């Protein structure tokens, strides 16, 4: 089955807005994490301890921002279309092929004996 | 087949015979749709590479661990794309295996750029009161003068390293960039 936001067009513009907002939010979270990491390193320099691993909150921010950004950009720009024309052609019906009786004219030929024209 | 071709001409879709020998020659591809898919895929891959590169730089990942995170996030994106296509990638790619590998190399360049950029920002940025006003607070501490010189100069960001010895203005320090190696950048470790 398809994912929840596979038919973003069907869900309307609200899903598009959520995706746009989440894209921007993930970048903002990463900028915030940058500032947090810089402050953490300054703290380590102040107490003269070496850097071994980032603190848990920064790691969580980074992981969450990456996952949210991935989901959001797929919802925003992940609308793929089938590339084979046979897919499109397979969905056509006979009505689209034959113009139909719209252009069938009757009584176009002049008869030799007009008396029998409307029998 | 004649009817299909007539319909294609009527529908205005462009035809392109596939080039690869192992692609089924009875298929006809639509070039504009291939281009649309390629643009969408490239946009997604580059964005995920940028975001994961920023995260890797912030968390201080170096060396092979950094490349492993790139592969991991690329795989996560490919899995999400696979499920967004309903588990059937064949209608959207020339070969169904391309859902895992297409566009990865172009994204790797963006990943490396943002990874090294944010690693350097986090490692050698001083937000304290010693920040020079012209550089908006993005200066390096004394230990990493050389790499900040090189990185800031090459990236054109106006990095002005504030060494412990002197504290000069941005134009002067940018003028005498020393040819220091990039020993502090994550790739060399």
Q: What is the pLDDT along chain A (119 residues), one digit of tens a residue?
A: 344 444 444 556 788 899 999 999 999 999 999 999 999 999 999 999 888 899 999 999 999 999 999 999 999 998 888 888 777 777 777 777 766 666 677 777 777 777 776 65
pLDDT at position B1, please? 57
Residue of chain A with shortest Cα separation from B118: A34
Instruction: Give me the pLDDT at residue A108, please.
Output: 75
**Average pLDDT per consecutive 10 residues, chain B (189 residues; last block may be shorter):** 59 50 66 90 96 96 94 94 88 87 92 96 75 45 47 42 42 44 47
The CA-based angle B92-B7-A91, given to 5 degrees, is 50
Q: How many CB atoms lie within 10 A of CB B116?
A: 20
With beta carbons under 8 A apart, name residues in chain A contacting B118: 34
pLDDT attached to residue B170 = 43
Confidence at residue B40, expressed as pLDDT on a 0 to 100 scale? 94
Task: Give the gyration radius of chain A's Cα atoms.
Answer: 32
Residues of B in Cβ contact (< 8 Å) with A23? 47
CA B127 to chain centre: 27
Q: Is A79 exposed, middle or buried (0-12, 13-18, 19+ CB in 10 A)?
A: middle
Q: Are B55 and A61 in contact (CB under 8 A)?
A: no
pLDDT value at residue A1:
37
Q: What span, in angstroms and rounded, lies between the C-alpha atoms of B26 and B17? A: 9
The predicted structure's pLDDT at residue B133? 44
Q: What's the pLDDT at A35? A: 95
B16 within 8 A of A85, measured Cβ to Cβ:
no
Report the number of secondary-structure helices (H) and strands (E) in chain A.
5, 0
Which of A56-63's residues contact partners 24+ apart within 8 Å by CB, and which partners? Answer: A58/A33, A58/B58, A58/B59, A59/B59, A61/A29, A61/A30, A61/A32, A61/A33, A61/A36, A62/A30, A62/A33, A62/B54, A62/B55, A62/B58, A62/B59, A63/B55
Shortest CA gap B145–chain A (Å): 16
Q: Can you state the percent helix, strand and coil of chain B, rounding each to 5?
A: 60, 0, 40
B174 to B91, B99, B149, B177, B184: CA distances (angstroms): 53, 45, 7, 6, 19
Tell whether B131 lies on the interface with A, counting CB pairs under 8 A: no
Question: What pLDDT is attached to residue A30?
Answer: 96
What is the dihedral sign for C-alpha A17, A18, A21, A22?
negative
- Contact list in A for residue B60 (CB cut-off 8 A) is 37, 51, 53-54
Sign, CA torsion A34/A38/A41/A43: negative
CA atoms within 13 A on the CB side of B56: 30
Token pair for A22? 């989440």
């Amino acid at each position: 089955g398809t994912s929840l936001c596979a038919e973003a067009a069907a869900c309307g513009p609200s899903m598009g807005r959520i995706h746009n907002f989440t894209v921007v939010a993930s970048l903002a979270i990463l900028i915030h994490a940058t500032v947090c990491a810089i402050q953490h390193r300054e703290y380590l320099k102040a107490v003269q301890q070496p850097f071994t691993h980032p603190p848990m909150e920064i790691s969580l921010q980074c992981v969450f921002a990456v996952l949210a950004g991935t989901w959001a950009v797929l919802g925003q720009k992940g609308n793929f279309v089938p590339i084979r024309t046979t897919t499109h052609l397979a969905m056509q019906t006979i009505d689209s092929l034959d113009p139909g009786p719209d252009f069938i004219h009757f009584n176009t030929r002049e008869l030799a004996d007009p008396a029998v024209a409307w029998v | 087949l004649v009817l299909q071709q007539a319909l294609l001409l009527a529908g205005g879709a462009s035809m392109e015979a596939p080039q690869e020998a192992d692609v089924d020659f009875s298929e006809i591809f639509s070039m504009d749709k291939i281009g649309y898919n390629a643009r969408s895929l490239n946009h997604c891959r580059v964005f995920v590479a940028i975001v994961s590169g920023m995260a890797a730089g912030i968390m201080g990942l170096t060396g092979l661990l950094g490349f492993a995170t790139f592969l991991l996030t690329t795989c996560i994106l490919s899995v999400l794309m696979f499920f967004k296509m309903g588990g059937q990638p064949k209608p959207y790619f020339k070969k169904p295996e391309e859902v895992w590998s297409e566009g990865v190399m172009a994204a790797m360049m963006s990943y490396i750029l943002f990874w090294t950029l944010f690693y350097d920002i986090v490692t050698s940025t001083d937000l304290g009161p010693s920040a020079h006003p012209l550089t908006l607070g993005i200066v390096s501490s004394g230990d990493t003068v050389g790499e900040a010189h090189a990185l800031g100069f090459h990236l054109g960001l106006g990095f002005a390293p504030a060494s412990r010895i002197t504290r000069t203005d941005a134009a002067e320090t940018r003028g005498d960039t020393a040819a220091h190696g990039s020993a502090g950048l994550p790739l060399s470790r």
